[in-house]
Copies of this chain bind each other. A is one copy, B any other.
Amino acid sequence: MPAAVTEERNRLDRAALLDAAETLFYAHGIQAVGMDRVREASGLPLKRIYRLFATKEDLVVAMLRHRDRRWRADLTAHVESVRDPRARVLAVFDWLAAWFAEPGFRGCAWINVHGELGSSSEPVLAEVRAHKRAFHDQLAAWVGATGAPVAEPVFLLAEGAIVTAAVTGDPAPARHARAAVETLLGCAPASPA
């Protein structure tokens, strides 16, 4: 069998596996989902799964990276379809509002996994921090383009809206955060610490 064909098959199986793992782990948490359910959902034999990822921890890390790429690409596509810098920042919160209203929304996958596993897995913790830093830096760049020095509070409002929408099951926090961001962008306060 040509190596190129094997490679292509691995690529497709990896994608199917990561999609199945993401759906299950996001919906139920990591420890509540056994590898057998991942096998069942992905349609891949357990042996192949373990050849693609040596341990469940490896699969979790890869799943988080997979989700990170898609999540940030979707957000960026939505936000950067807008031209005006202030409107861009507000568009972040419109995107959040739409996300919160999706069926099956269960908050931030990275915050959830951090709450569940804590610091018991160094690679997972690193992945969580990498995602949050990437989101923070991206948001800070969009806020920076408006000239208002309010990147930190805008980030905190986004994070607060995500966890609050998750816990309450109500998408309203996106509206509240958006209104506050409008105020902050318009206030031009002395630069914060």
Contacts and interface: CB of A to CB of B under 8 A. Distances in A.
Interface of A: 27-29, 31-32, 106-107, 110-120, 128-129, 132, 150, 152-153, 155-161, 163-164, 166-168, 173, 175-177, 179-180, 183-184, 186-187, 189, 192-193
Contacts of A193: 175-176, 179
Query: What number of copies of this chain does the assembly contain?
Result: 2
Given A160-B158, A167-B111, A183 B189 contact: yes
B120 A32 contact: yes
Contact of A180 (B27, B113, B153, B175): B153
20 contacts: A31-B116, A106-B119, A107-B114, A114-B115, A114-B167, A150-B180, A152-B173, A152-B179, A152-B180, A153-B157, A153-B183, A156-B156, A156-B157, A156-B180, A159-B163, A176-B193, A180-B184, A183-B192, A186-B189, A187-B189
Contacts of A155: 160, 164
A159 B115 CA distance: 14
A176 B164 contact: no
B129 A167 contact: yes
